[in-house]
Every structure is written in C-alpha cells, then in structure tokens.
Chains A and B, each alone.
Chain A
C-alpha cells in the first residue's frame, strides 16, 4: 500500500511538474510526460516488472483515445474534407512510408523494420499540431483545414497499422514473440473468421441498439459516477472482447465510438472518458520516457540528431509537393509541410507494438523514441520558421503582380467574415474595388476569381497591412471579430497614416471606447442595428404602426448614440471602467430618457416621440392675438 502510494506520488508529481514546464516553454504536454518518464524512470526502477504491468494498463489510454476519435467523427465534416482526407492524407502516408522505407534500407535495416519506421514517421502528432493551430487561430485557414484532414486520416490509418505490425514480424530477423491468444487459438480458420465477424457485428449492433436504452436508464438514475463507470465499462469491455478474438482493442473502441457518434449521450461519454484518457495517455508517454536509456542518448546523440533532422527533411519533402498537387497556396502549403513534419504520439504506440512483435530490439526502440521526441520538441521551432516564411512569401506574392500594387486612395477591408463580406459586396456593387485581407485562403481565392485584390494573412500583422497599402490608403474598414486585434489594427493604421479614415466594427460599448481611443473615425457596434431592427419588428407585431415604429427606433438610436458620445471622454483607455468613478457617474447620467423609460417613467420618451405632427388644438392657426 505504502509503496503504491509512493509510486503514485512520484508519478503524479513528476507528471505535473514536467508537463507544466513543458507547456510553459511551448512544447506541449506529450513532451512533458516523456521527460517526466525519463526523470522518474530510473528513480522508481521503472524498467522492473511493475512497469510492464503499468504499460499494459496505460495502453488503455490509446484505446480510449481512439474511442474518442471515433466519437468525434462527424460524417458531414468527413464528407466535406473527403478529397483532402483520402487524397492528401492517403498519399502522404503512402509516400512517407515508401520514402522512409528506402532511407532505412540504405542504412541497412530490414524491409519489415523499414515499413515499421515508415508507419511511425507517417503519423504526425495530432495532439501537438491541433493544439498549436488552435492557439494560433490557423485552424480555419486553408492550410489548417488541410492539416486537420491529413491528421484525421492518419488517426484512422493507425488502426490497420496496429493490425499489420504483428504480421510483419513473421519471418523477420528477430522472430515473433507475440502469438495470438484467446478463444480463437483452438478453432479452425473458418470458425474463427465467423466468430471475428460476429464480434464486430455485435459491437456495431450493440452500440446502435443496446447502448441507448442502457445509458438512458443509467442517466435516469441520476448517479453521475455510475454513468462514468458504465462509460469506462463500455470501453474496457470492448477492449476485452476484441482481444479475446484476437482483434485490436483500439479498432474495437474506434468502431464503438463511430457507432455512438450520433447518440445523444455523445458529449456525456466524451466528458467522462476524457480525463481517464488524458491521465492514462500521460502514463503511457511516461512509460515510454522511462524506457529511454539516457546512456543511449549520450552514446549515439550524433546519430539521433541526424536522424531527427533527416526525418523532418523527408517529411517536408513528401508534404510540399503534395500540397502543391492539391493546390494549396504557397503559405498554406508551407503550413501543412512544416506543421506536420514531426512524428507523433502514435509513433510511440507503434514502436512499442513493434518491440513486442520482435521487430526491434529495446535499444533500437529507445533510439527511435528519442528521435520522435526530438522531432516533437522541434515542432514549435518549425512554426516559428513558418511565421518568418509567410512574411517573405506574402511580399513575393505581392511583388509578383505589379498591377496588384494598391494605388493611392485604396480602400482596405480587413476581415471577410459575414460582416466583411456584406461590406465588400456593397462596395463592389457601387463600383469600388477594395483590397481585402483575410486569413482563410479559400475565401481569398474566391474573391480573386472576381478580380478583387485579396491577400491571405493576418490583418493584425503590421507588415501585411503595410503591404496592402495602408500607408497611402483612403479608407480602412476593420471587420474582424477579434476585439483586441481590431484595436491593434486601428492603432497601427492610425500611426501609419494620419489622414486615413477608419471604420471599425465594435463588439460592445467598451470596445467602442477602446476603438475610439485607438483613433477610429467611425465605430459600428456589430449587432446594434440588427437588434434595434428586431425590436422594431417586435413592436410592429404588437400592433404599432410601422412608421411609428421607425420613428421610435430613430429616437432610441439617437439617444443611445448621444449617451455613447457623452461617455467617450470619460474613458481614458487605461483604467478599467469598473474602477473609473467618472465613467460610472457618467453612465448613470446618460441615456436618462431611455433608462427612465425602461423603468416605467415613459413621459420624456413619449414627449419626444409626440413632437412630430402635433397641430395645436385650435380653431385657427392665425390666433396670435388671442394668445397675447
């Protein structure tokens, strides 16, 4: 008991510390777990028998990960990405396997080992890349979406790979260690084939028909932990079932996940499994780390460094032409090639299976693990290279088309979401051709087809704004929805060009003040007009005359804007409004008419409305003498 507690403490402490550090320096959690394994492994005698047990246990992390990936498979999204998924993803895996196989053969490895290395190298790190793309807001860009498609394909390709690796060991130099165990070993081939198929059918049918009533019943009980237990039971049960017929438990879990993807319990299952997956996967990476012999690193570091570099070069060499083949614009192509240039967490899984299957010696496996880990550590660096490269590429793209050089008096629209698109359409409809900036390459490409100058990139980057011609532009419309970035753009544009007119979309009042402070000329609160319109529709449905509604809307907008204007000088751009007494006092003072009207004292509002078309109730308008 004591030793278990000590183990657990050692593990968790190392994991927490190492992951925090690794996260802080931008390497992600996977590298942190591996490092933790490297550190605590020798201390806790990790390579002893206990570790074998732990390792098996931690492999459930992989099973759960595939279950979750299965759950996330949205048929519509897969269909949308089908070309890139199958074409780009498939070719990427195939070409990488062939290339790595060839390189391995050149270094004197057997073809089976070459294929294993190829598999390992073909799979990028879903965890690291998706996280990085998300953090950088590149997930929705063209390159980001293609990366996602390729990663998804790789995640799916793991399943057949897991099944293929044990087969490779047959006739390999080291010889098979791992024999299929379980129910099937004594059965004739036809019977085992039928039993296997029946098992898969059972998982699919059971997942479809049985799981719902069972989960609904458990959910009705209202016992949270029982639901969690049932979710774990489902995954573990499938794993056991699959292993008993000699199939990959990961495959079974993935299948079950896909079957349950449309279930109403999808999110609940996800939330329940996710922490276990995270911890077990962490444990798995730590066991990988623990198996690394530092001695190996010290002895063969030149080889490891060289191999890691070679791996990255090979992967980029495969990805770049494919990106070109699939018409990804230069910067999107580089994002794909540089972002996916590492091998990933699945590589560790495949290596450990390969070792079990007798394809690799443990020291060779150690070296391979180090190579993969090094690649993952270098990934953030590759993204930095991408940043530098994109600036150069954009410059070159712009320089390539001399006619594209924005003239004086240019109109720039930054951001082509739903907001910016309407602005651009309206400008075009009126004969103005704006220069458009957006970070989604497909949007940019579409606009180019219409002959609109459009640039791919982040409008928040000063250099892009400059290359779009902000220095001598006439008008800038900032239509992006990132509030902080909008302020930055306005500040930068104002510094670059004092005569520029800047119209900007604001999120709310506070953002309005920040933008005004930053130097915007015209600020449009993004949902204000449509909200007022909707309120007007409501009044009309309540029986108010449409023109009366229009007049009341106008009054409301006028009062609201007047209040907004009175408040602006009170905002100093530094003090948070909640700490700014002037601001609070002002806020209580403005829009009195509206706020009083809302509180029930509608006299002033009604008076303001009633001013129009109110002739005196007199017999004659020519009765001055009477009045006097």
Chain B
C-alpha cells in the first residue's frame, strides 16, 4: 500500500513525542513523508503538487500534535486549498474515493480530560469530527485514530511504546499486512491505537 504521511508541527526546535514519531516514520522504508511546515514555511501551499501527491498514494496519514482541539494551522490551510471542489468532492470530484485516512495525533490532555466528566467534556473522537466528516465527504475510509494522550513525558514507557507501535503500524501498512477493508483489521487497528493510550 502506498502510504503518505503529512506531518505538521510548527515548533520542531523542541523535543517531543510527536517529533520522535515523525523521525521514526521518516525511517520506514517505502513511505512518503512530507513535513508541511518545512515545505511551506510561508503557507504558500501548492495545490497542484499536493493533489498529485494524494493521487499517488492509497493511505494518507495526517500526523500532528493537537492544538486547541484542532490541527496546527498549516493543516487547515492544506485542507482549504488542496481538497478542492471538483477534485476531492462534488459530482465530478471523486479523485480520493476509496483511499484511507488515518489520524495520528498526540494530546497534552489526559484520557480522563477527554470524557463526559473530564475538563474537555467530550471524548477525544468528538474533536476529530471535522476530519472524519471531511474524509466521508471525499469518499475516503476514515480509520480509527492513532492517539497518545498525556503526551508530555517522552521518557515514559507508554510514550516509548507508542512511538515504537507507530513505526510498526506504518511498516505493516506499507507491507500490506492489514486488509483494511475487513472488519477484523479495523478492530485490530483500534486495539493498536488504544494500546498507546495509556495516560501517565
């Protein structure tokens, strides 16, 4: 499976779990890795180039740290410019149909914060609704997100496990070890996703 990782992190001077994940992803053989902030430091995103990239891949991973219940700014800019009417959606725009979308993100808030009773008052999946619906409008298969909460301590065993799991997951996807269309594979992915989600 041709896998494209679109990575968005504006403050890469700091060491973070998300950056370590990016480093691992970059090292996976056969993967296409794009650092959006490096490629478009002035937000001058080139829609043509980005659309070609999407067409050349089967599974798109959006990897980013969650800021204010959303993606970093450039990823929103990317969606606004690249997912054009007539390309990504609309009667003639079915170019992304059948592709897979995987969200890989980290949050500072804990598992508990993202619950009805927690400080954020909603489960984390609710905050990903815009992305999920975007995938749906584009006819893409939205995969269960790959999330690590309380991603504040890179040295914690759960963080290290999550980073390693990310690498394994991407490698397996590239090597087609999943049949993503089968329900069991999705179940399994959901399990993998949760396994990184341990809290500190």
Are A and B part of the same complex? yes
Q: Which of the listed residues A549, A612, A615 has the most CB atoms from chain B within 10 Å of its own CB?
A: A615
**Which of A119-127, A210-218, A616-624 touches B?**
A616-624
25 inter-chain pairs at a CB distance below 8 angstroms, sorted by A residue, are A545-B12, A545-B13, A545-B37, A545-B38, A546-B39, A547-B10, A547-B12, A548-B11, A548-B13, A551-B10, A613-B10, A613-B72, A614-B11, A618-B108, A618-B152, A619-B152, A619-B200, A620-B109, A620-B110, A620-B119, A621-B108, A621-B109, A622-B109, A622-B113, A622-B119
What A residues does B11 contact at CB under 8 A? 548, 612-614
User: Which B residue sits closest to A545, measured CB to CB?
Assistant: B12
Contact status B152-A613, CB under 8 Å = no
Is residue A550 within 8 Å, beta carbon to beta carbon, of the partner chain?
yes
What B residues does A614 contact at CB under 8 A? 11, 14
What A residues does B41 contact at CB under 8 A? 546-547, 549-550
Q: How far is the CB of B39 from chain A (nearest CB, A)?
A: 8
Q: Which 3 A-B pairs have the closest CB atoms?
A: A622-B119, A547-B37, A613-B11
Binding site for A on B (CB under 8 A): 10-14, 37-39, 41-42, 67, 72, 108-110, 112-113, 118-120, 150, 152, 200
Contact status B119-A621, CB under 8 Å = yes
A616 vs B110: C-alpha distance when bound (angstroms): 13
A470 vs B18: C-alpha distance when bound (angstroms): 57
Binding site for B on A (CB under 8 A): 545-551, 612-622
A614 vs B12: C-alpha distance when bound (angstroms): 11
Q: Is the interface of B mostly helix, strand, loop or mixed?
A: loop
Q: How far is the CB of B97 from chain A (nearest CB, A)?
A: 32
Known pairs A547-B38, A547-B41; A613 contacts B109 (CB<8 A): no
Contact status B113-A620, CB under 8 Å = yes
User: Which B residue sits closest to A536, measured CB to CB?
Assistant: B41
A547 vs B9: C-alpha distance when bound (angstroms): 9
A613 vs B9: C-alpha distance when bound (angstroms): 9
A621 vs B149: C-alpha distance when bound (angstroms): 12
What A residues does B14 contact at CB under 8 A? 614
What B residues does A622 contact at CB under 8 A? 109, 113, 118-120
Q: How far is the CB of B83 from chain A (nearest CB, A)?
A: 22
Q: How far is the CB of A227 from chain B (nearest CB, A)?
A: 55
Contact status B152-A617, CB under 8 Å = yes
What B residues does A613 contact at CB under 8 A? 10-11, 67, 72
User: Which A residue sits closest to B120, measured CB to CB?
Assistant: A622
Q: How far is the CB of A529 from chain B (nearest CB, A)?
A: 13
A93 vs B42: C-alpha distance when bound (angstroms): 60
User: Which A residue sits closest to B42, measured CB to CB?
Assistant: A550
Contact status B113-A546, CB under 8 Å = no
What B residues does A618 contact at CB under 8 A? 108, 152
What A residues does B39 contact at CB under 8 A? 546
Contact status B113-A612, CB under 8 Å = no
What A residues does B67 contact at CB under 8 A? 613
What A residues does B38 contact at CB under 8 A? 545-547
A548 vs B12: C-alpha distance when bound (angstroms): 8
Q: Which of the listed residues A545, A547, A621 has the most CB atoms from chain B within 10 Å of its own CB?
A: A547
A491 vs B90: C-alpha distance when bound (angstroms): 56
A438 vs B42: C-alpha distance when bound (angstroms): 34
What B residues does A545 contact at CB under 8 A? 12-13, 37-38
